Amino acid sequence: MLSFLPLSDLRVAKIMTIPFSLAQQVRSIRMLLGLSVLTMLVACGGSEDSGGSGGLTRVQQGNLDGVLHFGNGVEPEGLDPHIVTGVSENKIVSALFEGLVVKNPVTLEVEPGVAESWDISEDGTVYTFNLRENSLWSNGDTVTAHDFVWSWQRILTPELGAQYNYNLFAVENAERFANGELSDFSLVGVTALDDFTLQVQLRSPTPYFLQLLDHYSTFPVHRPTIEEFGGMSNRLSQWARPGNLVGNGPFTLTEWQINSHLRVEKFDDYWDADKIRLNAVVFYPTENIVTEDRMYRDGQLHRTQEILLDRIPGYREERPEEVNVEPWLGSYFYMFNTNKPPFDDIRVRKAMAMAIDRELLVDSILQGIFEPSYSLVPPDTLGYFPPKTFSYDPEQARQLLAEAGFPNGEGFPAFDVLYNTHEDHRRLAVALQQMWASELNIPAQLLNQEWKVYLENQDNMNYEVSRRGWIGDYVDPNTFLDMYITDGGNNKTGFSHPRYDEIILEEAPRTLDRDARYELYQEAETLLMESMSILPIYTYSTKHLIHPSVHGLTPNIMDYTNLRYVWLEPEASVESAAE
Amino acid sequence: MWRFIAIRTLQAIPVIFVVITVTFFLVRAAPGGPFDDEKAVSAQVQAALEAQYRLDLPMHEQYFAYLGDLFRGDMGPSFNYPGRSVNELIFQGLPITAELGFYAMLVAVGIGVLAGVIASLRPNTAQDYVPMSLAMVGICMPSFLLGPLLVLVFGIWLDVVPVSGWGSTPGEKVLPSITLGAMYAAYIARLSRSGMLEVLSQDYLRTARAKGLPERVVIIKHALRAGLLPVISYLGPAFAGLLSGSFVVETVFQIPGLGRFYVQAAFNRDYTMILGTTTLLATLIVVFNLLSDFLAAWLNPRLRYQFQKGGK
């Protein structure tokens, strides 16, 4: 009948001509619909019985049970105090272990930890610690001075490859032992005089030594456990896992599912257990700030590790008492490769530093939450204030650049500004590029590299100008200033000054009086800033959302948390839930 | 046909071997190493670290040592998580990613087939254009946009499902499954529409209708079986894609699956972890492609006949 049509048209014609009854069609659709809804239900389970609408949120439930839900940034790489290096590990390791001293979360001065008291010799080189007799390991053993000797031997053992072993290099002979120049550990200056007396001999008075004893690299570890799981210098040991880990801190490890959560519970035999008011803390890895923000708003977290920069103004309107923005012991700066022309000319470096309007940067692209900085060490580092050697002065900047042979930027070569790939770094680099172009007429080009590539290029001094950040390990100017000793591993700028080296390596460690020492550091920092090998931009701030039911998460410049002092007040949270 | 299966399987083994070899040397050629950090590491510490992970051996010895371990089923220790082996991390993450992938697949097939079939019943009408336009949106919308959007609406405004997590309540699995499945649903919708259109014009369907079968039976029993063949051959690669492509969804919803290890390992230069996850995913992709070939051959008599001829 339709044979005159070509084949393709024939098909279309058939489809069009076959009559479909509407009822038939509806029936078949309904059937398919039913099937697929069924599939969805089987697949996903009933969604009605989950959600947050009916029951309590995790935060509300936590307030009733005394369980703190803690957003902790990146997933901890491990929990071995001698191996880990990160910030997120620090919070957990400090809950599971305790050093000779602990820091007061308000003043950051040291307080008794495992050591009840200590004596320091007149010349500041011999520390004698009296350990409390009721400090226990979580398996019931007593923490003794021998534990500390063995633990310090462990972190200094060359084969372990502990990145933070240098924290103990102030101890007599420790550095030589760690470098393999000395194999007899009994020559290293740490001795157990008896079970509860530990004596430490320093190679030179190190005024910030007590501060280091609250760093996890100096924590004691449980010898029988480590020996059971592969021995002293085995990095791949399983000892720091739930079920195996034995610690001496206020909490014990009960659960750790990687990339999901890590739970610690109150240690009832901890020497100060009566004062611990939390029953448990659950740490969540929250690498994705956006996800963390949603978790907080959904009532899954008591505390976030970060706040999205762009959300801060909104939250300040909406829930000001939950926004915690505080100064942090960290500096954001750029550094120059002082070996490469034209950055080998101090006038060029100064001109570039003076051409930047830091106040404007902070107010515009940084939401006003960071402090503009003109030096390396953050202000008020345990009473230390850095010198201010220059200020925003585009007029003088242009003059300096002209003196260096580039009047109005003429002849200035194009140069790369290196930063690791991240939106925040890019935004800042663009702003600096603009400021340098408009004030000095010099052509900066942006060069972003993936983290490890960026690190390698910095290490090899294969850059011209580069972004850099530094967070202090302990509260003392030295944690920043010792970066810039000649050929120091973290220097990476080519900065070298004999007087600077003398202060940092010789004079300051010998000066016991804090004020006198800070004067020396001021002198050193002035030298550093007058060479302008680094270009300070701002001082970091920590940014946390903290639920109103949480108390005792005291802000401090180290962002240091002592969970022993934290408690939850359910009443407050019921009120806020009712709002 | 058995001979054919055997030959195809044997062909797959060198593919996996090449992937392992290329990955092994490529990750080591990448600038930066697993122990590079913002804080400088002293030469002694660096040497000790390299010794602990056998990086001090010559490259070819490392390679053969790795192959030897792999052959015994040991993918080595993770560089980034001291004390954890790659085996352990993978076998912790894989079941979660597979479960997520399975639910996403159900979503994809459920929605995709339904939309495709509905569209094919009345081509070039609103009933066709609406689901197909939605499918186009589904293909174009990246999961890092769709995920947060779903969370905002269903997790925060309507508050019917949790915004993140995995494993504590069944509701947590709804949004990630939909987010991950959406793009595949869209592809499946388009595939099943064209497959059905092809089939609906065939003579045997006219015969079915002519002998008085109800339309429901005609569509479901006769048309679907042949019309969904393209979908079935797509399922294998799609499932492999779901397993290897779940990184974004896992990050958005805070799911402890394999996808996050896969991507983080590359950034951390966690050599063994990169190798382990790449080897595993390459194997899965090869295996699923093989399986969908076999399945298609089993379902489609014409293909089966070809295979038999090839086998002779």
In a mutational test of the B interface, the residue from A27, A31, A32 whose CB has the highest number of chain B CBs within 10 Å is A32
Please indicate whether, in this complex, the C-beta atoms of A258 and B49 are within 8 angstroms of each other. no
Confidence class for position A521, pLDDT limits 50, 70, 90 = very high
Nearest to A91 by CA among A286, A370, A383, A324: A286
- Cα diameter, chain A: 116
Residue A158: which pLDDT band, with cuts at 50, 70 and 90? very high
Of all residues in chain A, what percent carry a pLDDT higher than 90? 76
| Token pair in block for residue A28 | 């078949």
| Chain B CA closest to residue A11 | B201
Put simply, whether A178 touches B (Cβ < 8 Å) is yes
The residue with greater pLDDT, A216 or B293, is: A216
Q: Is the pLDDT of residue B167 over 80?
A: no
Is the pLDDT at A49 greater than 60? The verdict is: no
Q: Contact at 8 Å (CB) between B253 and B201?
A: no
pLDDT, residue A379, reads 92
The reported pLDDT for the residue numbered B285 is 87
What are the structure tokens assigned to B143, written together?
């999961």
Confidence (pLDDT) at B295: 78
- Residues making up chain B, counted from first to last: 312
Does B67 have pLDDT greater than 50? Answer: yes
Asked if residue A414 has pLDDT above 70, the reply is yes
Q: How confident is the model at residue B9 (pLDDT cuts 50, 70, 90)?
A: confident
A184-192 mean pLDDT:
96
Q: How many CA atoms lie within 13 A of B190 on its CB side?
A: 14
The amino acid occupying position A326 is: E
Mean pLDDT of chain A: 88
Closest chain B residue to A84, measured at CA: B82
CA dist., res. A557 & res. A14, Å (int): 79
A176–chain B Cβ distance below 8 A for any pair = no
Q: Answer yes or no: are the C-beta atoms of A105 and A556 closer than 8 Å.
A: yes
At residue B306, the pLDDT reads 61
Strands A534-545 and A371-372: antiparallel
Closest Cα to residue A490, out of A331, A329, A327, A328?
A331
Is position B224 within any domain?
yes
Q: What is the pLDDT of residues A301-316, one digit of tens each?
A: 999 999 998 899 999 9
pLDDT of residue A154: 96
pLDDT tens, A228-247?
A: 998 999 988 999 999 999 99
Question: Any chain B CB within 8 A of the CB of A469?
Answer: yes
What pLDDT sits at residue A63? Answer: 94
Percent of chain B having pLDDT more than 90? Answer: 35
Secondary structure of A108-171 in HEC code, one letter for each residue: CCEEECCEEEEEECCCCCEEEEEECCCCECCCCCECCHHHHHHHHHHHHCHHHCCCCHHHHCCE
Count of beta carbons in the 10 Å neighbourhood of residue A332: 19
Highest mean pLDDT pick, A74-78, A221-225, B188-192? A221-225
Q: Residue B156: inside a domain, yes or no?
A: yes
What amino acid is encoded at B248 in this protein? V
Which residue in chain B has the smallest CA separation from A28?
B216
Q: Does any domain span residue B152?
A: yes
Range of the domain at B163: 88-261
Residue with tokens 């996403």: B104
B96-132 pLDDT, tens per residue? 999 999 999 999 999 999 999 999 988 888 888 998 8
Q: Given a cut of 60, is residue A532 above it in pLDDT?
A: yes
Please state whether beta strands A444-449 and A567-568 pair in parallel, antiparallel, or not at all (unpaired): unpaired
Query: For residue B165, which of B96, B232, B222, B90 has the smallest C-alpha distance?
Result: B96
A31 contacts B38? CB cut-off 8 A: no
Q: Evaluate whether residue B132 is within a structural domain.
A: yes
Residue B4 lies in a domain: no
Say yes or no to pLDDT of B278 above 50. yes
Number of structural domains in chain B: 1
Query: What pLDDT is stored for residue A490 in this prediction?
Result: 92
| CB < 8 Å to B212, chain A | none
pLDDT greater than 90 at residue A324: yes
Contacts for A190 with CB less than 8 Å, ≥ 6 apart: A148, A149, A152, A171, A174, A198, A199, A200, A201
Interface test with A, best of B28, B145, B161 (most A CBs within 10 A): B161
Using the CB atoms, write b or e for A3-23: b if 16+ within 10 Å. Answer: eeeeeeeebeebeeeeeeeee
pLDDT tens digits for range A259-303: 899 999 999 999 999 999 999 999 999 988 988 999 999 899 999
Binary contact (A163, B45; C-beta < 8 A) = yes
Residue A17: partners with Cβ closer than 8 Å, 6 or more residues away: none
For residue A323, the cross-strand partners are A545
Fill in the DSSP letter of residue B222. Answer: I
pLDDT reported for residue A32: 45
Question: How confident is the model over B21-34, as pLDDT tens digits?
Answer: 999 999 999 888 88
Q: Does A174 touch chain B (CB under 8 A)?
A: no
Instruction: pLDDT band for A55, please (50, 70, 90 cuts).
Output: confident
Residue-level pLDDT at A504? 94
Which CATH number is B192's domain given?
A: 1.10.3720.10
The ipTM of this complex is 0.85
In a domain, B95, yes or no: yes
- Which residues are bridge partners to A354 per DSSP? none
pLDDT in tens, A372-413: 999 999 998 889 999 999 999 999 999 999 999 999 999 999
Structural domain includes residue B192: yes
pLDDT of residue A503: 96
Average pLDDT over residues B190-203: 89
Closest-CA distance of chain B to residue A426, Å: 19
* Assigned token pair, A495: 């900065």
Residue B20 maps to a domain: no
Q: Would you state the structure tokens that stand for residue A1, as one six-digit string?
A: 């009948």
Residue with structure tokens 């007058």?
A: A530
From edge to edge, which strands make up the β-sheet containing A415-420? A371-372, A534-545, A323-336, A465-471, A415-420, A444-449
